[in-house]
A and B are shown apart, each in its own frame.
Chain A
Amino acid sequence: GDSVTQMEGPVTLSEEAFLTINCTYTATGYPSLFWYVQYPGEGLQLLLKATKADDKGSNKGFEATYRKETTSFHLEKGSVQVSDSAVYFCALRQAGTALIFGKGTTLSVSS
């Protein structure tokens, strides 16, 4: 079945460092891809999305490009802030199925 694999965390960075969180997927067909973020004590918030190959999703300085050839959707940010500390989830959705999540990657940014 469909699945999402994320890099293991935690990821610990200093403020203003470059961030990459790897995400790869296995799916038949052409899924839509998403990144969600969860802050402590809260539900998940949609961070960005891409619906077809080569689409780039972006929001709040975060970017991810839908790479069908490598089945990847890596999350990047050029300069992280302390306020970016959270858990990040990669997810996919296909027609007729529910949203499928990766295990999540915890990001901790120190000043």
Chain B
Amino acid sequence: KAGVTQTPRYLIKTRGQQVTLSCSPISGHRSVSWYQQTPGQGLQFLFEYFSETQRNKGNFPGRFSGRQFSNSRSEMNVSTLELGDSALYLCASSLRDLAQGYTFGSGTRLTVV
């Protein structure tokens, strides 16, 4: 079956702009989570959605937002981009079962210049 699909793979934006990243989960997975990965901070949790509702939220400023649609696809948006937002953004989908791990997409590499 198809894996987690993230688009686009690479993105270059200018400071102050906004960006929207997309994630299509594995069919049947209703939970989608987003992570930011940087060399200095490692993997940091952004937010988690389940059935269109935000279930958990990490410690990021309000410039970072997300949503989930009825087909479980998810988007995250970053407004007023800063140089420090340059990172690999990873999306993961999962079943609700605690015993299951997450399946990750290949990520979107965002560079802010």
Q: Which residues of A contact B (CB under 8 A)?
A: 32, 34, 36, 42-46, 49, 51, 89, 91, 93-104
A98/B45 in contact, CB under 8 A: yes
| B-side interface mostly | strand
How many Å from the CB of B49 to the closest CB on chain A?
A: 11
**Residue among B92, B101, B105, B107 with the highest chain A CB neighbour number at 10 A:** B101
Q: Which of A44, A96, A103 contacts B90 (CB 8 A)?
A: A44
* Shortest Cβ-Cβ A-B pairs, 8 listed: A43-B104, A101-B43, A44-B104, A51-B99, A46-B101, A43-B106, A103-B42, A98-B45
What residues of A have a CB within 8 angstroms of the CB of B16 in the complex?
Answer: none
How many Å from the CB of B87 to the closest CB on chain A?
A: 13
Q: Which residues of B contact A (CB under 8 A)?
A: 4, 6, 33, 35, 42-43, 45, 48, 55-56, 58, 90, 92, 98-99, 101-107
What residues of B have a CB within 8 angstroms of the CB of A101 in the complex?
Answer: 35, 42-43
A99/B56 in contact, CB under 8 A: no
- Chain B residue nearest to A95 in the complex (CB): B98
A103 to B38, CA, bound (A): 10
What residues of B have a CB within 8 angstroms of the CB of A49 in the complex?
Answer: 99, 101
Q: Which of A45, A89, A93, A96 contacts B43 (CB 8 A)?
A: A89
